[in-house]
């Protein structure tokens, strides 16, 4: 049982609101794939996936097979795309009715051979095409090879073809994104003309949904947007914050002039002051770079800066001017802006803040 007093709250009504906001941007026939990789962006994959299944999303996507297996063992029935499968996990993937993204000739040929050996029939698979990200995917020049291999093949069924926009959030890269979309359309046309059927096409992530409606195609992939973030701060105001991280004050100290606080005497008091110790540290995903006054938390409605160095399990804050007691609640973040402020303090992005918090922190849904 997790008795940790630090809790990450997941607001499911906010998830529903954000999902419906993005659905309002789509044609009614366009499917929604919810990306729940990386513990559902640091929240809880089981809580989130169960709720989204009730909201009738069409697909889930995870990064690796074990993430999908966890969902299947929890009773999730919705189709699950595994974005980065590994060859040694393909049989397990099939056992749990997960669908692989095949991104290279090696894994593609291995999976076809495996499907034939297992005597599968029309097992759904997906092909990813690299149109500029240069991370995973086939090149457009590989289409003839793929079509030749798929010819007279009844063990597998090409459910979808997809690609990934490189800079969908960057308006300065609009020309590059448009060229990506054109290339993907060309690849798709080449495949469809020979296959004799049209696989589902998808290319848009959260920013793509907002900025490139021409790239919605048959399905979109919604990840960060579910949690209230887009590339447009004005648009974020239409979304609701989903995650709130809260803890409590463990102990309050009176610190005299010249005394130090924390490891390596990272903070030296220049005045008489009051500090509070919180049960959260870098082992929980609370970055060491938040220390030395670079970030703050909220105590009884007031900002309290972090002082000294963040410890593995604890952090100290300055509460000299705040009326508080041991056991009082402390809010690490409960808004999109709080999360962005933490990201700025650590010179990173919201994705890293959301996905950094470890399983020591208890997750609850509200």
pLDDT in tens, the chain (366 residues): 668 899 999 999 999 999 999 999 999 999 999 999 999 999 999 999 999 999 999 999 999 999 999 999 999 999 999 999 999 999 999 999 999 999 999 999 999 999 999 999 999 999 999 999 999 999 999 999 999 999 989 999 999 999 999 999 998 999 999 999 999 999 999 999 999 899 999 999 999 999 999 999 999 999 999 999 998 888 889 999 999 999 999 999 999 999 999 999 999 999 999 999 999 999 999 999 999 999 999 999 999 999 999 999 999 999 999 999 999 999 999 999 999 999 999 999 999 999 999 999 999 999
Tokens of 327: 């056991």
| Active-site residue, from 106, 139, 174, 263 | 263
Nearest to 294 by CA among 214, 350, 223, 348: 348
DSSP label of 29: T
Q: What's the pLDDT score for residue 304?
A: 98
Q: What's the pLDDT score for residue 2?
A: 67
Catalytic residue check, 37:
yes
- Class of the CATH domain delimited by 12-236: alpha beta
Q: What's the pLDDT score for residue 152?
A: 87
- Class of the CATH domain delimited by 243-365: mainly beta
Catalytic residue check, 234:
no
Instruction: List C-alpha distances in Å: 51 to 80, 129, 240, 355.
Output: 15, 31, 16, 19
DSSP label of 219: E
| Active-site residue, from 37, 128, 240, 246 | 37
Task: With residue 113 as reference, give the H or E element that holds it.
Answer: helix 105-117
Q: How far apart are CA 288 and CA 305, in angstroms?
A: 14
**Under DSSP, is residue 289 helix (H, G, I), strand (E, B) or coil?**
helix
Within this chain, domains 12-236 and 243-365 share the same CATH topology: no
Q: Where are the domains of the chain?
A: 12-236, 243-365
Q: Rounded to a whole number, what is the largest CA-CA distance in the chain?
A: 81
Q: What's the pLDDT score for residue 1?
A: 64
**Under DSSP, is residue 220 helix (H, G, I), strand (E, B) or coil?**
strand
Q: How far apart are CA 342 and CA 359, in angstroms?
A: 20
Q: What's the pLDDT score for residue 196?
A: 87
Tokens of 323: 């009326």
Indicate the burial class of 364 (C-beta count within 10 angstroms; 0-12, 13-18, 19 or more).
exposed
């Amino acid at each position: 049982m997790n008795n940790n007093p630090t809790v990450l709250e997941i607001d499911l009504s906010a998830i529903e609101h954000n999902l419906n906001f993005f659905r309002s941007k789509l044609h009614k026939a366009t499917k929604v794939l919810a990306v729940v990789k990386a513990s559902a962006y640091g929240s809880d994959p089981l809580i989130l996936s169960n709720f989204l299944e009730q909201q009738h999303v069409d697909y889930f996507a995870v990064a690796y097979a074990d993430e999908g297996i966890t969902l299947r063992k929890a009773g999730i029935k919705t189709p699950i795309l595994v974005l980065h499968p590994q060859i040694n996990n393909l049989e397990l993937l099939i056992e749990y009715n997960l669908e692989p993204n095949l991104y290279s000739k090696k894994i593609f040929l291995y999976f076809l051979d495996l499907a034939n050996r297992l005597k599968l029939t029309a097992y759904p698979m997906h092909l990813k095409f690299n149109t500029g990200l240069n991370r995973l995917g086939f090149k457009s020049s590989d289409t003839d090879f793929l079509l030749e291999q798929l010819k007279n093949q009844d063990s597998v069924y090409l459910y979808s073809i997809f690609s990934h926009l490189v800079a969908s959030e960057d308006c300065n890269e609009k020309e590059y994104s448009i060229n990506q979309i054109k290339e993907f359309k060309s690849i798709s046309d080449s495949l469809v003309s020979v296959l004799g059927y049209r696989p589902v096409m998808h290319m848009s992530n959260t920013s793509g949904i907002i900025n490139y409606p021409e790239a919605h195609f048959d399905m979109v992939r919604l990840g960060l947007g579910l949690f209230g973030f887009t590339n447009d701060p004005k648009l974020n105001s239409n979304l609701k914050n989903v995650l709130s991280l809260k803890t409590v004050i463990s102990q309050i100290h009176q610190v005299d002039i010249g005394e130090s606080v924390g490891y390596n005497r990272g903070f030296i008091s220049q005045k008489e002051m009051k500090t509070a110790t919180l049960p959260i540290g870098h082992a929980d995903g609370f970055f060491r770079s938040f220390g030395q006054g670079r970030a703050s938390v909220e105590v009884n409605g007031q900002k309290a800066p972090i002082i000294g160095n963040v410890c593995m399990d604890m952090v100290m804050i300055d509460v000299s001017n705040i009326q508080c007691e041991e056991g009082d609640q402390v809010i690490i973040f409960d808004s999109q802006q709080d999360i962005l402020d933490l990201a700025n303090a650590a010179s990173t992005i919201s994705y890293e803040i959301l996905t950094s918090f470890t399983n020591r922190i208890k997750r609850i849904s509200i």
